[in-house]
């Protein structure tokens, strides 16, 4: 389970995927598989969540990593580079962005 604290002792990554209602579920299935099979088993992985908007045109992913370098190493792996090529083909765009927790309420 993701735990949001301030100050955070982990790296937070928010990724948004722009998709279509026709491909949303397929993309969600690919992302779920990536987390279950590979990402969640990588060094430094803490937790993640996938969110879908009601129009099924956007998927948002929230993930936490022990260190920014852990997340970057996962992205640079051959497995994720191949998976990301497939994911990229299923959406208009996707953008992972690293954030620092500024406040919690």
Q: Kindly report, residue by residue over 52-100, the tens digit of the pLDDT.
A: 999 999 999 999 999 999 999 999 999 999 999 999 999 999 999 999 9
Q: Which CATH class is domain 11-99?
A: alpha beta
How many CB atoms are located within 10 Å of the residue 41 CB?
10
Percent of the chain whose pLDDT exceeds 90: 92
Question: pLDDT value at position 1?
Answer: 77
Q: What is the pTM of this model?
A: 0.92
**56 backbone φψ class: left, alpha, beta (φ>0; ψ -120 to 50):** left
Question: pLDDT value at position 69?
Answer: 97
Domain boundaries, the chain: 11-99
Tell me, rounded to whole angstroms, the distance of Cα 2 from its chain centroid.
13
């Amino acid at each position: 389970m993701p735990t949001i604290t301030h100050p955070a002792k982990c790296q937070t990554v928010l990724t948004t995927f722009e998709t279509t209602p026709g491909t949303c579920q397929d993309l969600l299935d690919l992302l779920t598989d990536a987390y279950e099979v590979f990402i969640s088993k990588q060094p430094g992985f803490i937790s993640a969540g996938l969110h879908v908007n009601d129009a099924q045109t956007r998927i948002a992913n929230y993930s936490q990593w022990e260190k920014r370098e852990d997340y970057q190493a996962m992205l640079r792996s051959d497995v994720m580079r191949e998976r990301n090529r497939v994911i990229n083909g299923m959406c208009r765009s996707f953008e992972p962005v690293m954030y620092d927790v500024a406040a919690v309420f």
